């Protein structure tokens, strides 16, 4: 089959996260039709997670190309760039306060960013309740998307923007994410200024982190008077079951965490003892480094589907930059296959370089801080 021109192609994005929605938005700005498929039954089906810092040299560049940078800056929290480094004793080691007008990496909640992107798309662009089971058809197309429930869709280009455990990835790569040996336990705090004033004062308007080389705590201010805390430890993947615990047993999980953080300051232990609601277990996975594949004429990947790395502030920014570059390649190429080649020629080396730098990023999450580090 001859590769079609992008404007005449049936383009399917799998995943309505920041990367997939950014790609769809930029394609539509260039008059290229696109459909996004997402497994969630509706946009509010699940919590979208915590706060993101979008960088001026990648995430914000993508939003500029999407025509949404001013809207983003109106929603973003520049004050969220504040950062405090603490010792396990609670002593303040370093403190960054953003300068007036500093906009290099302002914060926005994941949910707010998603709403901004969704609201910018043509009605009906996103098809909710479409969980991809697999992809069939020849590499030169057309491809068949098979969704749970038996629905099938024929398409000329599949863009995998469906995250760490992508169902698109197997069409181009046998790679699967591996466990990094560490994970987060997430704790949420609501109405913090009134209900948790000590924690609110400790965290400030941005984030606060402490680590001792083996354990870490990272607290992050979200909008709506919320704080999320990420309790970081090296541990087996099955640590909860191995200890005879249940993640829904908040008291038992809390006791286990307090035992692990014995000796830390009472002010920091509030991040473990005072949370509202249950904990969430979030093991950290990564793809092999480098992750590459033989080029396909009909399938490509972006974001975590292409280059899952430890969570060190680059993931969503790289996903949105990928999305921008792929959409612009499609807008500027004669065929879909040419566009994939143009995009992957830049994306794959960049993601490999970044992944090499962050390959041992879990150690950076746990590394003990020093004075003057920021």
Query: Cα–Cα distances in Å, from 289 out to 127, 296, 310, 339?
Result: 33, 20, 12, 24
Token pair belonging to 275? 């949370």
Residue located via tokens 């992944």: 355
Q: What are the beta bridge partners of residue 208?
A: 84, 219
Token pair belonging to 52? 């993101």
Neighbours of 47 (CB within 10 A): 10
Longest CA span, the chain = 66
Instruction: Determine the Cα–Cα distance for residues 11 and 233; give it in Å rounded to an integer.
Output: 41
The answer on whether 304 is annotated among ligand-binding residues is yes
The answer on whether 40 is annotated among ligand-binding residues is no
Angle at alpha carbon of residue 307, lines to 63 and 69, rounded to 5°: 5
Token pair belonging to 296? 């396909």
The answer on whether 143 is annotated among ligand-binding residues is no
Q: What is the DSSP letter of 77?
A: B
Which residues have CB under 8 Å from 200's CB, separation 6+?
A: 192, 193, 227
Report the phi/psi class of residue 330: left, alpha or beta, with left for phi > 0 and alpha for psi in -120 to 50. Answer: alpha
Query: Cα–Cα distances in Å, from 55 out to 21, 22, 60, 220, 364?
Result: 18, 15, 6, 17, 20
The answer on whether 350 is annotated among ligand-binding residues is no
Per the annotation, binding residues are: 46, 53, 110, 304
Binding residues for NADPH: 46
Q: Which residues are annotated as a binding site for FAD?
A: 53, 110, 304
């Amino acid at each position: 089959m001859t590769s079609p021109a992008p404007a005449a192609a049936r383009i399917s994005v799998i995943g309505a996260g920041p990367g997939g929605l950014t790609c769809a938005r930029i394609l539509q700005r260039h008059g290229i039709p696109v459909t996004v498929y997402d497994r969630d039954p509706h946009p509010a089906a699940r919590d979208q997670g915590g706060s993101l810092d979008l960088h001026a040299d990648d995430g914000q560049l993508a939003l500029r190309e999407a025509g949404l940078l001013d809207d983003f800056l109106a929603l973003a929290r520049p004050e969220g760039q504040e950062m405090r480094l603490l010792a396990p004793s609670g002593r303040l080691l370093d403190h960054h306060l953003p300068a007036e007008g500093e906009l290099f990496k302002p914060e926005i909640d994941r949910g707010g960013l998603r709403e901004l992107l969704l609201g910018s798309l043509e009605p009906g662009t996103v098809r909710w309740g479409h969980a991809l089971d697999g992809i069939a058809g020849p590499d030169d197309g057309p491809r068949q998307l098979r969704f749970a429930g038996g629905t099938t869709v024929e398409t000329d280009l599949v863009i995998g923007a469906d995250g760490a455990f992508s169902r698109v990835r197997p069409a181009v790569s046998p790679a699967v994410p591996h466990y990094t040996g560490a994970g987060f336990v997430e704790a949420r705090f609501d109405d913090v200024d009134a209900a948790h004033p000590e924690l609110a004062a400790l965290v400030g308007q941005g984030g606060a982190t402490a680590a001792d080389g083996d354990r870490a705590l990272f607290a992050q201010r979200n909008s709506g008077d919320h704080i999320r805390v990420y309790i970081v430890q090296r541990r087996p993947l099955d640590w909860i079951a191995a200890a005879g615990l249940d993640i829904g047993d908040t008291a038992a999980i809390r006791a286990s965490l307090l035992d692990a953080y014995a000796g830390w300051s009472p002010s920091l232990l509030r991040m473990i003892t005072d949370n509202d609601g249950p904990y969430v277990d979030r093991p950290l996975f990564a793809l092999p480094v480098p992750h590459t594949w033989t080029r396909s004429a009909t399938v490509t990947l972006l974001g975590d589907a292409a280059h899952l790395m430890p969570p060190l502030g680059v993931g969503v920014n790289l996903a949105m930059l990928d999305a921008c570059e792929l959409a612009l390649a499609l807008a500027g190429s004669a065929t879909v296959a040419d566009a994939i080649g143009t995009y992957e020629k830049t994306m794959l080396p960049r993601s490999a370089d970044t992944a090499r730098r962050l390959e041992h990023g879990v150690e950076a999450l746990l590394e003990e801080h020093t004075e003057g580090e920021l």
